Amino acid sequence: MIHLENVSKVYNNGIEALKNISLDIDNGEFVFIVGPSGAGKSTFLKLLIREEKATFGKIIVSGYDLMKIRRSKIPYLRRKMGIVFQDFRLIAKMNVYDNVAFAMRVIGSPEKAIKKRVKEVLNLVELDGKEKRKPNEISGGEQQRVSLARALVNKPDMIIADEPTGNIDPDLSFDIMKLLVEINKTGTTVIIVTHEHDLVKEFGGRIITIEDGEIKSDEKYPTKYHEKEADKK
């Protein structure tokens, strides 16, 4: 579903943020992208969501050739993705319900379907009962769960998250990761950039290390969290 072939990104200032990257990510994978600050992790995600265009190479995402895609088609590409940012990017004036519903309204979903689906995703992220709160009336962890609900509401093929736990407490980070594992279990591809090495070790999955614009390692570990849960049952 994601295919990169000899991809490089050179910014206008001459910085080569990614150098000759080739990799494939299959449907349903759970992938961590790790590496030091400035390594090119965010650039990698920006290429996938076509916020930036690669300078060289080939990128295919969900059947779209991102080197050739027309600007008018980019919104269709993005509908296949749920994007989660470190700083949540919620709309301050809207309550929790409307922040999530908004993502469905902009694509013209009927209000009845919106009501049903928003209830579902708010239940999944355990925010039932907080629908009427504004972002400044809930905690950071809760705000990130709203942004996760918003990313999920249109049933994307993949979730792409850039340091989703960067602005929240460690114990809440764990909950966000657990939710991402749950989401992955339903078949959604999950790609998470993180610097939280402890969490990566805890959750396993595929771990791609980027350093200085290059793939330093790409390894698959068992997703430990699944096993832990199975033990409990």
Ligand X SMILES: Nc1ncnc2c1ncn2[C@@H]1O[C@H](COP(=O)(O)OP(=O)(O)O)[C@@H](O)[C@H]1O
21-80: which residues touch Mg ion (CB under 5 A)? 42
Closer of 29 and 212 to ligand X (Cβ)? 212
When computed from its CA atoms, the radius of gyration of the chain, rounded to whole angstroms, is 18
From 32-40, 61-69, 78-86, 150-158, give the range in contact with ligand X by CB under 6 A. 32-40
For residue 13, the partner it binds in ligand X, Mg ion, none, with Cβ less than 5 to 8 A by kind, is: ligand X
Q: How far is the CB of 91 from ligand X (least distance, A)?
A: 24
Q: Residue 143, interface with Mg ion (CB under 5 A)?
A: no
Q: How far is the CB of 7 from ligand X (least distance, A)?
A: 13
Identify the residue among 43, 86, 95, 189 touching ligand X (CB under 6 A).
43
Q: How far is the CB of 52 from ligand X (least distance, A)?
A: 7
Q: How far is the CB of 146 from ligand X (least distance, A)?
A: 24
Q: Residue 49, interface with ligand X (CB under 6 A)?
A: no
Closer of 99 and 165 to ligand X (Cβ)? 165
Closer of 142 and 162 to Mg ion (Cβ)? 162
Binding site for ligand X (CB under 6 A): 11, 13, 15, 17, 35, 37-43
